[in-house]
C-alpha cells in the first residue's frame, strides 16, 4: 500500500468515530427538546387561557333571555342587554402578544427537533 491510500483509510476510521460520537451526542439532545418544548407550550397555553375574558357573563345574559322568552310564551322578548366587554390595555395586548409569540416559537422548536431527528 502506498502512503496516500493508508492516509485515507486512517482518515475514514477516525472520521467514522468522530461522526458517530457527534451523532450520538446530538441525537440525545434532540430527544430532550420536544419534551421541554411541550411542557413550555402547555404552561404558556394555560397562561393564555387564564388571560382571556370570561365568556360566562355573556352566556348567562343570553340564558336569562331564553328563560324569559320561554316563560312569556310567544310574546316579544324584552330588549337584550349584553354586558359590554372591557377594552384591553396596551400592556395586556403586549403580554398576550408575547405569550402567543413564545407559544409559536416553542412549537417551531419542537417541530424543528422532530425534523432534525427524522433527517
Q: What is the mean pLDDT of each run of 10 residues along the chain (119 residues)?
A: 84 92 84 88 92 79 82 66 73 91 93 85
**The model scores a pTM over 0.85:** no
Rounded to 5°, the CA angle 82-87-88 comes to: 135
pLDDT at 28: 80
Secondary-structure percent of the chain, ordered helix, strand, coil, rounded to 5: 80, 0, 20
Residues 34 and 48: their CA atoms lie apart, in Å, by: 20
Quote the crossing angle between the two packed helices 90-118 and 3-50, to the nearest 10°: 150
Phi, psi torsion values for 75, nearest 5 degrees? -70, 160
Amino acid at each position: 500500500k502506498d502512503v496516500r491510500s493508508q492516509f485515507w483509510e486512517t482518515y475514514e476510521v477516525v472520521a467514522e468515530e468522530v461522526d458517530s460520537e457527534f451523532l450520538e451526542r446530538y441525537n440525545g439532545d434532540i430527544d430532550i427538546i420536544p419534551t421541554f418544548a411541550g411542557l413550555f407550550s402547555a404552561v404558556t397555553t394555560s397562561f393564555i387561557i387564564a388571560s382571556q375574558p370570561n365568556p360566562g357573563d355573556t352566556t348567562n345574559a343570553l340564558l336569562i333571555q331564553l328563560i324569559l322568552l320561554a316563560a312569556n310564551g310567544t310574546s316579544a322578548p324584552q330588549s337584550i342587554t349584553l354586558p359590554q366587554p372591557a377594552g384591553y390595555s396596551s400592556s395586556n395586548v403586549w403580554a398576550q402578544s408575547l405569550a402567543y409569540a413564545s407559544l409559536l416559537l416553542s412549537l417551531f422548536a419542537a417541530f424543528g427537533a422532530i425534523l432534525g431527528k427524522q433527517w
